[in-house]
Amino acid sequence: MKYVITLTLLFFSLHIIAQKSCDYSTNVTDSIGTYKSTKEYMISEKNFAGNSSYIFYSLALTDGLPTLNIQSIQKSKDFLKANCFDKNSKLFLQLNNGKIITLVHIDQENCGTMIRDDKGFDNRVNSGIFMFMKDSFEELKKSPVSMMRIKYLTDTEDYILKKEFKSELNNETYYPETYFIDYLKCIE
């Protein structure tokens, strides 16, 4: 009997340790309202032939409205095309259980900002804010995400989300497939 109790306590201790903590970049409540946003988390990284691209997620809660903020960064010495977000932009998440979750972009056009660094690289930084559809939270909490499709104003791009990868940019390990399972609790 002692063995069963010890094993049960060990299991629950490991489960608590394994849960991801909620780290916020912003957590404000004032006379205007409340806003909190999780720190950015790398979802995708591509480095090939001198070109780099990165996609980061953060979750935000603005006066009770949950959103997914996406930031894409492209870096190249070649021409960088602009992928613009507009009111018709969408983000599709294909879950491992076969379901597809759709998030819609807010009514704000954004084509990003171009910045040239001191090494001669052009850097395009673009951000988009997507709203969750009703009842999508429960599915995202239960199943990992295998693929992401972003529908821009004039283009569509697909990304296969890895179970785990070690970033060449900052040498940290990320788990994109389970991002929502690990962090949706931070904005509920």
148 contacts 72 by C-beta, under 8 angstroms: no
State the pLDDT confidence band at 79, using cuts at 50, 70 and 90.
confident
Q: Which tokens go with 45?
A: 């990284």
Looking at residue 29, its pLDDT comes to 86
Tell me which DSSP letter residue 85 carries.
B
Looking at residue 19, its pLDDT comes to 60
Tell me which DSSP letter residue 185 carries.
G
CA atoms within a 13 Å half-sphere pointing along the CA-CB vector of 126: 22
14 has pLDDT over 70 = no
State the pLDDT confidence band at 9, using cuts at 50, 70 and 90.
very low
Handedness of CA 37, 176, 21, 4 (dihedral sign): positive
**Domain carrying residue 137:** 2-187
Per the structure, the count of domains in the chain is 1
